[in-house]
Structure 1
């Protein structure tokens, strides 16, 4: 099967977000399948001086073809007016034009499949849903998402939650949507076997880890509330934050000596930081999937997640699901996980077994099966 995959190369540079991980792992996995011939498609602007894809992308060794126009302007016209059609940049004999990311691509010579990781833009009841920024975001997405759901042969997504929201909010045909999911990299399982005494820690005190930075859309206000209660209780539990934070929260941290901001951390460092933590706290109000929760489970720590969007589905009964606004109850749980070895071990074992279900290989199996089914 000949597959051409459209990507935004910058999204694949490591360290990357959950969507970037999805793109990299899915395409590298497809490349390893004997029955798949894979070629990337992206704007020529991303080529380095030697005519290659930047080595910061794990996809740089893969074969590729390019188009000459700028990515942003080209994709904007695709989404607004369905032009320019990309048929001349898709090689003859292509069985599928596939995007493991959220976009709309006008092409007629082969069936098209795109991936909608979530449809947060159309959610009516998020804390920011009625801001002008969100309304503008929803307007822009509205110009192309419905076309993608209508024109693409199949639309992939990563959770049953996201699939159902496409049906509920956009009237999508559920038979046209396939849930592919996400996986967990082997490094997170491997670190769980390492003696903690051999690992460098960001603080000698016990700590809770936050992945994704302090940002409104990751539940930063609820995290700050947890930090405040921990301090009021004179707990020695610290909060360590991996990922870039919004400037207003960086300033707010000055009032919270029990919070440490690490900024972006490398893919090689994240498993160690998770392994050394007492627990993961993931209070995001909206996730299409929520890879950090599974990565924490794989690394051998309990995951405490919000009861919003896809997170209850993804962690099942292996995680601890909380109302992110119930700060006192959350702090009770975090303290108990740190001080009660039996409770902690119970969730470590549950989580480790649960995370093992989520493999990139099984995601690729579902993807390839869908390509055959919809051909």
Structure 2
């Protein structure tokens, strides 16, 4: 099977977000299959003097096929006009053009498969849905998403939640939407054998860890409330947050001495920070999947997640599901994790068993199976 995979290279640069991890891992898994010949499809302007992608891209050693125009204006033209056609830049004999992220690809010579990780743009009941930024986001996506759903032979997504929202909000055909999920990088499994007290800690006190920055979408207001209630309860538990935080929340966090903002953390350090923690506290209000929850389980710590969007589906009964609007209840659970060894060990064991089923190779197998089914 010959596959041309269109990617946004910048999104794959390390350290990257969950979508970037998905792109890197699934494309690498596909490229390792003996029955598959895969090339990347990218703008020529993204190649360096060595005719390869940037050294921060884990996919840079894969063969590339290029188109001559800049990525951003070209993709905007594809989305708005369906032009220029990509066919002449796709090698003869290609069986599938595959995008592991959201886009519209005007291709006639072979079937197309794209990936929609979520359709947050079309949600109208989120706390930020009426902001001008979200309305602009919805307008831009509205110009092309429905066409992509119609014209792509297969639409991949990462959770049943995202699939059902596509059907409910956009009238998508559920028969062509395939849930492939996400996997967990091996270092998160490997760190689980390391005794936590042998690892360096970012703070002196016991802490819960959060990945994704202090932002509204990631439950920033809930974290501030939890921090306040922890202090009121005279708990020594701190909240340590990795990732880019919004300026307003950075300022607000200064009033909470039990919140530590680390900023962007390297991929090498994330497993260590998780393993050293009491557990993950993930109060995001909207996720198409929520990889950090599974990464915590793989690393051998409990995952406490919000009862929002895909998160209950992703963790199942192996995670602790909370209402982000009830900080006192959340604090009760955090204090129990600190003081009740049996309770904590129970969720560690459940989480590790649950995480073991979530591998990138399994995701790639589902992609291949869909290609064979829809060919």
1:155 to 2:164 alignment: no
Residue 198 of structure 1: CA displacement? 2.3
Aligned twin of 1:87: 87
Q: Report the secondary structure of 2:241's partner residue.
A: strand
Q: Report the secondary structure of 1:357's partner residue.
A: coil
1:227 to 2:217 alignment: no
Query: Which consecutive segments of 4 or more residues in structure 1 shift more than 6 A?
Result: none
TM-score, normalization by structure 1: 0.99
Residue 281 of structure 1: CA displacement? 0.6
Residue 49 of structure 1: CA displacement? 2.5
Aligned twin of 1:2: 2
> What pairs up with 1:289-308 in 2 under 5 angstroms?
289-308=289-308
Deviations, residues 200-240 of structure 1 (Å, cap 9, x unaligned): 11112100101001111111111111011111222110111
Q: 2:197·2:276 contact (CA, 8 Å) conserved in 1? A: no
C-alpha separation between the residues in 2 aligned to 1:239 and 1:116? 32
Q: Report the secondary structure of 2:193's partner residue.
A: coil
Q: Report the secondary structure of 1:257's partner residue.
A: coil
C-alpha separation between the residues in 2 aligned to 1:46 and 1:220? 35
1:17 to 2:17 alignment: yes
C-alpha separation between the residues in 2 aligned to 1:366 and 1:126? 31
Residue 132 of structure 1: CA displacement? 1.8
Aligned twin of 1:284: 284
Residue 65 of structure 1: CA displacement? 1.2
Q: 2:191·2:272 contact (CA, 8 Å) conserved in 1? A: yes
Q: Report the secondary structure of 1:216's partner residue.
A: coil
Deviations, residues 110-163 of structure 1 (Å, cap 9, x unaligned): 100000000000011100111122111111101111001100011000000000
Residue 185 of structure 1: CA displacement? 1.1
Aligned twin of 2:242: 242
TM-score, normalization by structure 2: 0.99
C-alpha separation between the residues in 2 aligned to 1:349 and 1:87? 50
Q: Report the secondary structure of 1:19's partner residue.
A: helix
Aligned twin of 1:327: 327
* Number of equivalenced pairs: 375
Unaligned 5+ residue runs, structure 1?
Answer: none
Aligned twin of 2:69: 69
Q: 2:14·2:57 contact (CA, 8 Å) conserved in 1? A: yes
> What pairs up with 1:1-375 in 2 under 5 angstroms?
1-375=1-375
Q: 2:18·2:291 contact (CA, 8 Å) conserved in 1? A: yes
Unaligned 5+ residue runs, structure 2?
Answer: none
C-alpha separation between the residues in 2 aligned to 1:210 and 1:105? 35
C-alpha separation between the residues in 1 aligned to 2:244 and 2:133? 20
C-alpha separation between the residues in 1 aligned to 2:270 and 2:132? 35
C-alpha separation between the residues in 1 aligned to 2:66 and 2:231? 54
Moved more, 248-257 or 288-297: 248-257
C-alpha separation between the residues in 2 aligned to 1:27 and 1:73? 24
